[in-house]
Amino acid sequence: MCFKKVLFISNGHGEDLNASQVLKALQLNYPNIQVAALPMVGEGNAYRKLGVDIITPTLSLPSGGFVYMDKRQLLTDVQKGLLKLTWQQIKAARAFTKDCDLIFATGDIVPLALARITGCPYTAFIVSSSAHYENRMQPPFLMNWLMGSSLCKTIFTRDAFTAQLMQQQGISKAIFAGYPIMDVLKPMGMNLELKPEIPMIALLPGSRLPEACHNLGIMLDLAVAIAREFSPNSVQFRAALVPKMMESEVLMAIAIEHGWNFDPPYRFVYNHVNQSQIELTCFSTAFADILHKSNLAIGMAGTAVEQAVGLGKPVIQILGQGPQFTYSFADAQMRLLGISVQTIGKIPATPNILNEAAQTVKLTLQNSDYLEACKVNGTERVGLSGGSARIADFIAQLVQ
């Protein structure tokens, strides 16, 4: 059997998730293609779960890859080893690609630039760019140059609208084959202990620590405000957390700080709201089940919000302290994802903002026309499942 080699380069949690799903489909359907990964940001856990060779050291930096949200984070990253890490990544990429057939670069300018430096043919999956942001597609000069290179064989876009505008601009190698993050949302049949006749609100605090812990605390405050808008026992909450947040000490500290009781191992309890008790159960292995079963999501995350919208769910966003989930990030999410997303407030959530968000939750769940529009919007903005296998097919054609 003649083996081909493909290197996956990505720079962020959502980017890793997208790329790893394509890699997984490639492994499954094309066993003669060998794969390896180079995650530029974080530990590359999406790849590690698949047992994929990671060709360079990994490092979690303070910015979490969100330097573009706060330029001050760049100095901190440099102090923590960014320059050394980048040099290691360049050397590893150049060494690996001496006999590599293709690079699959997922993200923005940075992974594309690394791919170009190697001199190896590459594809660009530009998940950081969308025509929906500004209703037009005008990438920066360097991004255009990287995509226009003869070494760049195909440009995969994150949505159909972006590919359409790029095609109209004469970029014939731009295509939309699907958005792989929708392929990880198959329900596992987890028992969420839900009352089926009562609306369930999903809490999505994000994946980056310690920010996600702060976000969950804000969401506990919001849950109290929401419960006050509803009659007793007529709304329920479930939280989708990353495994590192599921330690009892972590959850206990969050509960105490925000006036809740903690019922080990994973349940929060709050008494005396409308003569009733609020409960919030947390899960780290039921993300897809929680999204599918939810009627609405409270989002302080990136990829998870996109996935919720893709499933047709309305999302209410409130703001924390960052570094990721600030107003500029939330505003970009609204422009990208359209009517499905509502952001309440332009500053970190205050009691007044939480009350407004709670009222918005109630009005949203009562608006059947809007809820139906969110289902249509989700398909248009994010797309259906199956993108991983379709992109893998394109990669196989390029190398074979």
- Other beta carbons within 10 angstroms of residue 346's beta carbon come to 12
Q: Tokens at residue 55, please?
A: 């060709």
Query: Token pair of 336, please?
Result: 């990208």
- Cα–Cα distance between 329 and 324 in angstroms, integer? 7
pLDDT digits (tens, 9 = 90+) for 242-275: 988 999 999 999 999 999 999 999 999 998 777 7
Q: Identify the pLDDT of residue 70.
A: 52
The topology under which CATH files domain 4-184+385-399 is: Rossmann fold (3.40.50)
The Cα–Cα gap between 194 and 299 comes to 20
Check residue 164 and give its pLDDT: 95
pLDDT tens column, 93-138: 999 999 999 999 999 899 999 999 999 999 999 998 999 998 898 8
Q: Which residues, at least 6 apart from 327, have a Cβ–Cβ distance to it below 8 Å?
A: 319, 343, 345, 346, 347
pLDDT-above-70 percentage for the chain: 94
Pairing, β 267-273 against β 261-263? antiparallel
Instruction: Please check whether residue 290 is in contact with residue 307, taking contact to mean a CB–CB distance below 8 angstroms.
Output: no
Which residues of the chain form CATH 3.40.50.2000? 4-184+385-399, 200-381
Instruction: Report phi then psi at 106, rounded to 5.
Output: -115, 125
Q: How far is it, in rounded angstroms, from Cα 123 to Cα 248? A: 43
**Average pLDDT over all residues of the chain:** 91
- Whole-prediction pTM value? 0.88
Q: Is 133 within 8 Å of 336 (Cβ atoms)?
A: yes
Q: What are the φ/ψ torsions at residue 139 (nearest 5 degrees)?
A: -65, 155
pLDDT number for residue 20: 97
What is the CATH architecture of 200-381?
3-Layer(aba) Sandwich (3.40)
Question: Of the candidates 48, 22, 52, which has an alpha carbon nearest to the alpha carbon of residue 36?
Answer: 52
Cα 395 to Cα 127, 173, 309, 327, 375: the distances in Å are: 17, 13, 28, 37, 31
For residue 31, pLDDT over 80 is answered with yes
φ/ψ region of 345 (left if φ > 0, alpha if ψ in -120 to 50, else beta) reads: left
